Amino acid sequence: MKINGQKNVKIAIQQKGRLSEKCIELLEQAGLDFDSYKRKLYAGCRNFPLDILYIRDDDIPEYVADGIVDLGIVGEDVILEQQVKVKKIVPLNFGFCALSIACPKGSAINNPKDLNGLKIATTYRNCLKKYLKRNNLKADIIELSGSVEVAPSLSVADCVCDIISTGETMKENNLAPVVKLFDSQAFLIADPKSLEIKWKSEIIERFAMRIESLVQARKTKYVMLNAPRQAVDKIIAMIPGVDSPTIVPLAKSDMVAVHSVVEEEIFWEVIENLKKAGATGILVSPIEKMII
Protein backbone atom coordinates (compact mmCIF):
# COMPACT_ATOMS: atom_id res chain seq x y z
CA MET A 1 0.00 0.00 0.00
CA LYS A 2 1.23 3.53 -0.83
CA ILE A 3 0.38 6.87 0.74
CA ASN A 4 1.00 9.83 -1.58
CA GLY A 5 3.12 7.59 -3.79
CA GLN A 6 5.37 6.64 -0.86
CA LYS A 7 6.25 3.04 -0.11
CA ASN A 8 5.48 1.69 3.36
CA VAL A 9 7.23 -0.61 5.81
CA LYS A 10 5.20 -3.40 7.42
CA ILE A 11 4.90 -4.36 11.07
CA ALA A 12 3.34 -7.53 12.51
CA ILE A 13 1.68 -7.46 15.93
CA GLN A 14 -0.26 -10.10 17.87
CA GLN A 15 -3.87 -10.27 16.72
CA LYS A 16 -5.42 -11.60 19.92
CA GLY A 17 -3.61 -12.31 23.17
CA ARG A 18 -1.64 -10.87 26.03
CA LEU A 19 0.35 -8.40 23.95
CA SER A 20 -2.40 -7.19 21.59
CA GLU A 21 -3.94 -4.35 23.59
CA LYS A 22 -0.55 -3.06 24.72
CA CYS A 23 0.74 -3.04 21.13
CA ILE A 24 -2.28 -1.11 19.83
CA GLU A 25 -2.00 1.37 22.71
CA LEU A 26 1.71 1.87 22.00
CA LEU A 27 1.15 2.49 18.28
CA GLU A 28 -1.74 4.88 18.98
CA GLN A 29 0.31 6.80 21.52
CA ALA A 30 3.10 7.01 18.95
CA GLY A 31 0.66 9.19 17.00
CA LEU A 32 -0.33 6.60 14.38
CA ASP A 33 -3.84 6.73 12.99
CA PHE A 34 -5.06 3.26 11.94
CA ASP A 35 -7.97 0.83 12.29
CA SER A 36 -7.60 -1.36 15.36
CA TYR A 37 -10.86 -3.32 14.97
CA LYS A 38 -10.82 -6.76 16.50
CA ARG A 39 -10.53 -9.57 13.94
CA LYS A 40 -8.96 -7.27 11.37
CA LEU A 41 -5.97 -8.83 9.60
CA TYR A 42 -4.43 -5.75 8.08
CA ALA A 43 -4.54 -1.95 8.48
CA GLY A 44 -2.69 0.91 6.83
CA CYS A 45 -1.71 4.03 8.82
CA ARG A 46 -3.25 7.20 7.51
CA ASN A 47 -0.46 9.48 8.73
CA PHE A 48 2.73 7.38 8.66
CA PRO A 49 4.27 5.06 6.01
CA LEU A 50 3.51 1.91 7.99
CA ASP A 51 1.16 -1.04 7.37
CA ILE A 52 0.07 -3.19 10.31
CA LEU A 53 -0.52 -6.95 10.10
CA TYR A 54 -2.42 -8.69 12.89
CA ILE A 55 -1.22 -12.30 13.22
CA ARG A 56 -0.52 -15.05 15.81
CA ASP A 57 2.51 -14.28 17.92
CA ASP A 58 4.20 -17.58 17.00
CA ASP A 59 4.34 -16.44 13.37
CA ILE A 60 5.89 -13.03 14.07
CA PRO A 61 9.65 -13.88 14.34
CA GLU A 62 9.53 -15.95 11.15
CA TYR A 63 7.57 -13.33 9.20
CA VAL A 64 10.23 -10.79 10.22
CA ALA A 65 13.20 -13.07 9.50
CA ASP A 66 11.77 -14.02 6.10
CA GLY A 67 11.19 -10.39 5.13
CA ILE A 68 7.40 -10.80 4.79
CA VAL A 69 7.22 -7.88 7.23
CA ASP A 70 10.04 -5.50 8.23
CA LEU A 71 9.15 -5.09 11.90
CA GLY A 72 7.37 -7.01 14.64
CA ILE A 73 6.40 -6.77 18.28
CA VAL A 74 6.79 -10.05 20.13
CA GLY A 75 7.95 -11.57 23.42
CA GLU A 76 11.64 -12.40 23.78
CA ASP A 77 10.54 -15.92 24.77
CA VAL A 78 9.08 -16.52 21.32
CA ILE A 79 12.20 -15.11 19.59
CA LEU A 80 14.46 -17.40 21.63
CA GLU A 81 12.29 -20.43 21.01
CA GLN A 82 12.14 -19.94 17.26
CA GLN A 83 15.89 -19.34 16.89
CA VAL A 84 15.48 -17.10 13.86
CA LYS A 85 17.65 -14.20 12.74
CA VAL A 86 15.96 -10.96 13.78
CA LYS A 87 17.36 -7.78 15.31
CA LYS A 88 15.95 -6.70 18.66
CA ILE A 89 15.77 -2.92 18.43
CA VAL A 90 13.70 -1.57 21.35
CA PRO A 91 12.82 -3.29 24.66
CA LEU A 92 9.21 -2.24 25.29
CA ASN A 93 8.93 -2.55 29.07
CA PHE A 94 5.74 -4.66 29.00
CA GLY A 95 4.88 -8.36 28.65
CA PHE A 96 7.17 -9.25 31.53
CA CYS A 97 7.36 -12.95 32.32
CA ALA A 98 9.90 -15.73 32.87
CA LEU A 99 10.34 -19.15 31.34
CA SER A 100 10.58 -21.50 34.30
CA ILE A 101 10.46 -25.16 35.19
CA ALA A 102 7.76 -25.85 37.78
CA CYS A 103 7.03 -29.07 39.68
CA PRO A 104 4.09 -30.33 41.77
CA LYS A 105 4.18 -28.88 45.28
CA GLY A 106 5.49 -31.33 47.83
CA SER A 107 7.39 -33.37 45.22
CA ALA A 108 11.02 -34.17 45.94
CA ILE A 109 12.17 -32.01 42.99
CA ASN A 110 13.97 -29.05 44.52
CA ASN A 111 16.92 -28.26 42.30
CA PRO A 112 17.98 -28.70 38.65
CA LYS A 113 19.81 -31.99 39.32
CA ASP A 114 16.52 -33.59 40.41
CA LEU A 115 15.23 -33.12 36.85
CA ASN A 116 17.42 -35.99 35.60
CA GLY A 117 15.27 -38.81 34.21
CA LEU A 118 12.00 -36.88 34.49
CA LYS A 119 9.38 -36.05 31.87
CA ILE A 120 8.98 -32.29 31.31
CA ALA A 121 5.98 -30.96 29.38
CA THR A 122 6.46 -27.74 27.40
CA THR A 123 5.62 -25.67 24.35
CA TYR A 124 9.20 -24.26 24.53
CA ARG A 125 11.00 -27.32 23.21
CA ASN A 126 14.11 -25.58 21.87
CA CYS A 127 14.68 -23.42 24.95
CA LEU A 128 14.28 -26.42 27.25
CA LYS A 129 16.55 -28.60 25.13
CA LYS A 130 19.24 -25.93 25.22
CA TYR A 131 18.92 -25.49 28.98
CA LEU A 132 19.16 -29.25 29.65
CA LYS A 133 22.19 -29.57 27.38
CA ARG A 134 23.98 -26.58 28.91
CA ASN A 135 23.46 -27.98 32.39
CA ASN A 136 24.29 -31.55 31.49
CA LEU A 137 20.86 -32.82 32.44
CA LYS A 138 18.98 -35.70 30.82
CA ALA A 139 15.19 -35.43 30.84
CA ASP A 140 12.43 -36.38 28.39
CA ILE A 141 10.80 -33.44 26.65
CA ILE A 142 7.04 -33.90 26.17
CA GLU A 143 6.09 -31.35 23.54
CA LEU A 144 2.54 -30.01 23.85
CA SER A 145 0.77 -27.24 21.96
CA GLY A 146 -0.88 -25.61 24.99
CA SER A 147 -2.35 -26.01 28.51
CA VAL A 148 0.97 -27.37 29.68
CA GLU A 149 0.20 -26.70 33.34
CA VAL A 150 -2.30 -29.55 33.57
CA ALA A 151 0.18 -32.17 32.30
CA PRO A 152 1.42 -33.30 35.77
CA SER A 153 -2.10 -33.78 37.16
CA LEU A 154 -2.94 -35.92 34.11
CA SER A 155 0.31 -37.88 34.61
CA VAL A 156 1.44 -36.84 31.14
CA ALA A 157 4.63 -35.45 32.65
CA ASP A 158 6.39 -35.01 36.02
CA CYS A 159 6.81 -31.25 35.68
CA VAL A 160 6.41 -28.38 33.22
CA CYS A 161 8.56 -25.76 31.54
CA ASP A 162 6.38 -22.74 30.88
CA ILE A 163 5.93 -18.98 31.13
CA ILE A 164 5.29 -17.60 34.60
CA SER A 165 4.38 -14.00 35.30
CA THR A 166 2.44 -13.64 38.57
CA GLY A 167 2.59 -17.38 39.29
CA GLU A 168 -1.20 -17.59 39.75
CA THR A 169 -1.80 -20.18 37.01
CA MET A 170 0.95 -22.38 38.43
CA LYS A 171 -0.44 -22.02 41.96
CA GLU A 172 -3.94 -22.95 40.77
CA ASN A 173 -2.44 -26.14 39.33
CA ASN A 174 -0.50 -26.87 42.50
CA LEU A 175 2.87 -26.24 40.84
CA ALA A 176 5.86 -24.38 42.26
CA PRO A 177 8.80 -22.96 40.25
CA VAL A 178 12.09 -24.81 40.70
CA VAL A 179 14.36 -23.07 38.21
CA LYS A 180 14.16 -20.00 35.97
CA LEU A 181 15.59 -20.35 32.44
CA PHE A 182 15.33 -16.63 31.52
CA ASP A 183 13.34 -13.41 31.94
CA SER A 184 11.41 -12.03 29.00
CA GLN A 185 9.68 -8.84 27.88
CA ALA A 186 8.16 -7.63 24.61
CA PHE A 187 10.57 -6.26 21.97
CA LEU A 188 10.32 -4.28 18.78
CA ILE A 189 12.22 -6.43 16.30
CA ALA A 190 13.39 -5.81 12.75
CA ASP A 191 14.48 -7.83 9.74
CA PRO A 192 18.25 -7.13 9.44
CA LYS A 193 17.81 -7.01 5.65
CA SER A 194 15.30 -4.16 5.93
CA LEU A 195 17.84 -2.13 7.89
CA GLU A 196 20.19 -2.34 4.88
CA ILE A 197 17.65 -0.76 2.53
CA LYS A 198 17.89 3.04 2.72
CA TRP A 199 14.24 4.05 2.38
CA LYS A 200 13.14 1.32 4.79
CA SER A 201 15.80 2.03 7.40
CA GLU A 202 14.88 5.74 7.36
CA ILE A 203 11.25 4.96 8.16
CA ILE A 204 12.25 2.34 10.74
CA GLU A 205 14.55 4.86 12.44
CA ARG A 206 11.74 7.44 12.65
CA PHE A 207 9.33 4.83 13.98
CA ALA A 208 11.82 3.41 16.52
CA MET A 209 12.55 6.92 17.79
CA ARG A 210 8.85 7.45 18.51
CA ILE A 211 8.55 4.11 20.28
CA GLU A 212 11.71 4.66 22.30
CA SER A 213 10.54 8.10 23.43
CA LEU A 214 7.26 6.59 24.62
CA VAL A 215 8.93 3.77 26.51
CA GLN A 216 11.29 6.24 28.18
CA ALA A 217 8.42 8.59 29.06
CA ARG A 218 6.42 5.75 30.62
CA LYS A 219 9.38 4.93 32.84
CA THR A 220 9.61 8.47 34.24
CA LYS A 221 7.57 11.15 36.02
CA TYR A 222 7.95 14.92 35.94
CA VAL A 223 8.36 16.28 39.47
CA MET A 224 8.00 19.90 40.61
CA LEU A 225 8.56 20.93 44.21
CA ASN A 226 9.39 23.83 46.45
CA ALA A 227 12.48 23.66 48.61
CA PRO A 228 14.19 25.84 51.22
CA ARG A 229 17.21 27.41 49.50
CA GLN A 230 19.65 25.95 52.06
CA ALA A 231 18.39 22.41 51.34
CA VAL A 232 18.77 22.68 47.55
CA ASP A 233 22.09 20.83 47.24
CA LYS A 234 20.80 17.94 49.32
CA ILE A 235 17.57 17.81 47.29
CA ILE A 236 19.34 17.95 43.92
CA ALA A 237 21.51 15.02 44.96
CA MET A 238 18.32 13.01 45.53
CA ILE A 239 16.80 13.70 42.09
CA PRO A 240 19.27 13.34 39.29
CA GLY A 241 17.35 14.75 36.28
CA VAL A 242 17.89 14.11 32.59
CA ASP A 243 20.93 16.38 32.72
CA SER A 244 20.43 18.40 35.89
CA PRO A 245 17.28 19.75 37.53
CA THR A 246 15.89 23.21 36.74
CA ILE A 247 15.95 25.60 39.71
CA VAL A 248 13.63 28.63 39.67
CA PRO A 249 13.67 31.33 42.37
CA LEU A 250 10.32 31.94 44.12
CA ALA A 251 8.84 35.24 45.36
CA LYS A 252 9.79 34.18 48.89
CA SER A 253 13.56 34.63 48.75
CA ASP A 254 14.37 31.70 51.04
CA MET A 255 12.57 29.22 48.71
CA VAL A 256 13.22 27.85 45.23
CA ALA A 257 11.20 25.65 42.86
CA VAL A 258 12.92 22.52 41.57
CA HIS A 259 11.76 20.78 38.35
CA SER A 260 13.11 17.40 37.32
CA VAL A 261 12.30 13.87 36.16
CA VAL A 262 12.34 10.79 38.36
CA GLU A 263 12.36 7.17 37.28
CA GLU A 264 9.13 5.33 38.04
CA GLU A 265 11.01 2.45 39.65
CA ILE A 266 12.53 4.57 42.43
CA PHE A 267 9.79 7.19 42.46
CA TRP A 268 8.17 6.67 45.90
CA GLU A 269 11.49 6.24 47.64
CA VAL A 270 12.72 9.55 46.15
CA ILE A 271 9.53 11.40 47.14
CA GLU A 272 9.79 10.14 50.74
CA ASN A 273 13.39 11.31 50.95
CA LEU A 274 12.52 14.69 49.41
CA LYS A 275 9.84 15.28 52.03
CA LYS A 276 12.29 14.43 54.78
CA ALA A 277 14.76 16.94 53.29
CA GLY A 278 12.16 19.73 53.52
CA ALA A 279 10.50 19.68 50.09
CA THR A 280 6.90 20.97 50.03
CA GLY A 281 4.17 21.35 47.40
CA ILE A 282 5.40 18.32 45.45
CA LEU A 283 3.58 18.04 42.09
CA VAL A 284 3.97 14.95 39.94
CA SER A 285 2.82 14.58 36.34
CA PRO A 286 3.14 11.85 33.73
CA ILE A 287 5.42 12.54 30.76
CA GLU A 288 3.87 11.91 27.35
CA LYS A 289 7.01 11.68 25.22
CA MET A 290 10.67 11.88 26.15
CA ILE A 291 13.28 12.47 23.47
CA ILE A 292 16.80 12.37 24.81
- Binding region for ligand ATP (CB under 6 A): 14, 17-19, 56-58, 75, 77-78, 95-97, 163, 165, 184
Output the smallest distance, CB 35 to ligand ATP, in A: 19
| Residue 97 binds which of ligand ATP, Mg ion, none (CB < 5-8 A, kind-dependent) | ligand ATP
SS (HEC) of the chain: CEECCEECEEEEEECCCCCHHHHHHHHHHCCCCCCCCCCCCEEECCCCCEEEEEECHHHHHHHHHCCCCCEEEEEHHHHHHHCCCCEEEEECCCCCEEEEEEEECCCCCCCHHHHCCCEEEECCHHHHHHHHHHCCCCCEEEECCCCHHHCCCCCCCCEEEEEECCCHHHHHCCEEEEEEEEEECEEEEECCCHHHCHHHHHHHHHHHHHHHHHHHHHCEEEEEEEEEHHHHHHHHHHCCCCCCCEEEECCCCCEEEEEEEEEHHHHHHHHHHHHHCCCEEEEEEECCCCCC
Residue facing ligand ATP at closest CB distance = 75
- Report the residue number, 58 or 62, with the smaller CB distance to Mg ion: 58
| Residue 18 binds which of ligand ATP, Mg ion, none (CB < 5-8 A, kind-dependent) | ligand ATP
| Residue 95 binds which of ligand ATP, Mg ion, none (CB < 5-8 A, kind-dependent) | ligand ATP
The reply on whether position 57 binds Mg ion by CB under 5 A is: yes
Stretch that binds Mg ion, among 55-63, 163-171, 211-219, 276-284 (CB under 5 A): 55-63
- Report the residue number, 38 or 198, with the smaller CB distance to ligand ATP: 38
The reply on whether position 58 binds Mg ion by CB under 5 A is: yes
Stretch that binds Mg ion, among 56-64, 66-74, 249-257, 266-274 (CB under 5 A): 56-64
